[in-house]
Amino acid sequence: MSHIIKAGLVGVTGYTGMELSRLMTHHSSMELVRVTSRAEAGKKLADIYPFLHRLPLGELVITQPDPADLAAECDVVFLAVPHKTAMGIAAALLAEGVKVVDLSADFRINDKTTYEEWYDVEHTEPQLLSEAVYGLPELYLDQIMGARLIANPGCYPTSSILGLAPALSGGFIATDDIVIDAKSGASGAGRGAKVGTLFCEVADNFRAYSLPAHRHAPEIEQELSKLGGANMTISFNTHLLPIDRGILSTIYTKLNTNMDLDAVHAAYTEFYSDKPLVRVLPKGQLPETRFVRGTVFCDIGVVVDPRTNRLIILSAIDNLCRGASGQALMNANLICGLDIDEGLPMAPMMP
């Protein structure tokens, strides 16, 4: 590299901002030069994140979010703020000529009306919807490399879409009988102070939530429909795990051919053969959230149940890393001309 890419991060205090700070600590071709927070502006990053003491990144002073300043200093800006807040900032930054990777949901849904129904808010920048590229590199690599604005996928959608893509592309499952039973760690609920995510409410417990209509359903259906060539409606159901990080999706489908496990496994392996950040596990092995903890890997296991002729797909990611900040960095790497995995940890924290 002849020069270092300069990056900004709007919204450093949440878990996705924290995770991006972690990842940027080891990136040798991209440097975080601006981090913003309305509440914490003026402090050094190590003041709010003691784990950054004695590291260069810890000395970075948090600023107020200012599009002009960000544009002046950065080549690319990550938005780690809530949906509805992100859309305006994205528009302002693009107007200033900076590339944007938006981790919120604001540009993921192509259809303005669908977005507004599910998120219950008016979309004020609809002119950007068609330009935004859905940042799932296994599906949209070329578009991402040429994009100005990346809609970074949701955590559940990343896990679900990567799990189903080979089967839908291959056309060997029914498109009208898919159930996704998804389980997520608590960091997916964010870092806001709420009774429901207190330690004593989450630990030693397991529960479903948002049934039967989680906001990630339309995003998943949009992408699956493109892959399946049909307007798909799925049953998508979410649960809260007493772990920090990790999503495991158990996906129930019906085979529409008489493929056996060998054939299904071969199709999956082939589909991802040139995409090294998705790992189709050997037959008989099943993914575990710990195997991807802290990495951008998506691990996939396939099971065929001959008693019911079902294909069961298990898909595991780290919701904060592949499901948010890690994938955002993959996308930033790509739009800045770097290798997709530059700076990203490949070995999970085990145990």
Q: Closest separation between CB of residue 296 and a second copy, Å?
A: 12
Among 5, 9, 19, 228, binds a second copy (CB under 8 A): 19
Among 64, 113, 124, 205, binds a second copy (CB under 8 A): 205
Where does residue 316 fall: left (phi above 0), alpha (psi -120 to 50 degrees), or beta otherwise? beta
Q: Determine if 39 is a binding residue for a second copy (CB under 8 A).
A: no
Q: Closest separation between CB of residue 150 and a second copy, Å?
A: 23
Cβ contact 93:70 at 8 Å: yes
Which one of 29-37, 123-131, 236-244, 323-331 is the stretch in contact with a second copy (CB under 8 A)? 236-244
Among 292, 298, 334, 338, binds a second copy (CB under 8 A): 292
Q: Determine if 291 is a binding residue for a second copy (CB under 8 A).
A: yes
Which one of 78-86, 93-101, 284-292, 325-333 is the stretch in contact with a second copy (CB under 8 A)? 284-292
Angle, CA of 7, 335 and 298, to the nearest 5°? 95
Q: Determine if 37 is a binding residue for a second copy (CB under 8 A).
A: no
Work out the number of other CB atoms within 10 angstroms of the CB of residue 229: 11
Q: How far apart are CA 309 and CA 174, in angstroms?
A: 11
Q: How far apart are CA 340 and CA 329, in angstroms?
A: 8
Query: Judging by beta carbons within 10 Å of its beta carbon (0-12, 13-18, 19+), is residue 188 exposed, middle or buried?
Result: buried
Work out the number of other CB atoms within 10 angstroms of the CB of residue 110: 17
Q: Which is nearer to a second copy, 25 or 225 (CB)?
A: 25
Q: Closest separation between CB of residue 197 and a second copy, Å?
A: 5
Q: Closest separation between CB of residue 126 and a second copy, Å?
A: 25
Q: How far apart are CA 139 and CA 223, in angstroms?
A: 10
Q: Determine if 186 is a binding residue for a second copy (CB under 8 A).
A: yes
Catalytic residues: 155
